[in-house]
Structure 1
């Protein structure tokens, strides 16, 4: 495969809907959407401020929806809510961490994933670019 663009995905999420889902389902909703490392971050943020916890949950929801669109998979295997986590690098930049079959699927296609997320009072938005990495030249000849 040649280097270049594999796919682009975007998602806009109404944080009021996320808050309603949290009210109805509580921890079960967060466990469905978030991976293990994300769950720890969510718990700490939600304990400090319920609104910041909901915003975190909404941005991760939006980012995973955008990722599923960029990959062209929707929420079908190997893509699942827990197969990817959106975590912050030490400087705060969000990054995609993949697990299991989804990590293998992306590695087979030599994909690099780039994510941007943002939120305001009632809205979260995410944008994902899936890039095909260049194949190194064959030096065996």
Structure 2
């Protein structure tokens, strides 16, 4: 059963401007432990790939916060929600701390899709209740 749906679109140009102004501090505020490492690797190789990665993660977290119905307030935090790749390449939500506990006690499961083009990153999240609780 669907618990919630969230979507978000992010202007990559604005994300780039914010990163130029605030630098690594901004990325460290938004990205979780695994994500920050991937971001740094991509940024070092091709700056635009790093910024696009940051934008897709920002967008996905916004969409996730909408799908769970709480926006960016506790226990939802930027760093406790990560978007990681499964071995197949499929994006998945990985939660930490109080957010993971909140999510687990409600028996929820999340599905996420992210995409980006030159100027925009977009995400779609569906959160459902797990069967056989």
- Normalising by structure 1, report the TM-score: 0.93
> How many angstroms does 1:104 deviate by?
0.6
Could you tell me which runs of 5 or more consecutive residues in structure 1 were left unpaired when the two chains were aligned: 137-141
* Deviation per residue, 1:10-41 (Å, 9 max, x gap): 00000001000000000001000000100000
Pairing of 1:10-89 with structure 2 (within 5 A): 10-89=7-86
Question: Secondary structure of 1:29's partner?
Answer: helix
CA distance in 2 between partners of 1:51 and 1:6 (Å)? 35
User: Which of 100, 104, 123 is 1:103 aligned to?
Assistant: 100
> How many angstroms does 1:69 deviate by?
0.1
Please provide the CA RMSD for this pair: 0.6
Runs of 4+ deviating beyond 2 Å: none
Question: Secondary structure of 1:74's partner?
Answer: coil
> How many angstroms does 1:90 deviate by?
1.2
CA distance in 2 between partners of 1:22 and 1:11 (Å)? 19
The count of aligned residue pairs is 133
> How many angstroms does 1:135 deviate by?
2.7
* Deviation per residue, 1:43-75 (Å, 9 max, x gap): 000011000000000000000000000000100
- Structure 1 window deviating more from structure 2 (67-76 vs 126-135): it is 126-135
Could you tell me which runs of 5 or more consecutive residues in structure 2 were left unpaired when the two chains were aligned: none
Which is higher, the Rg of structure 1 or of structure 2?
A: 1
- Equivalent position of 1:139 in the other structure: none
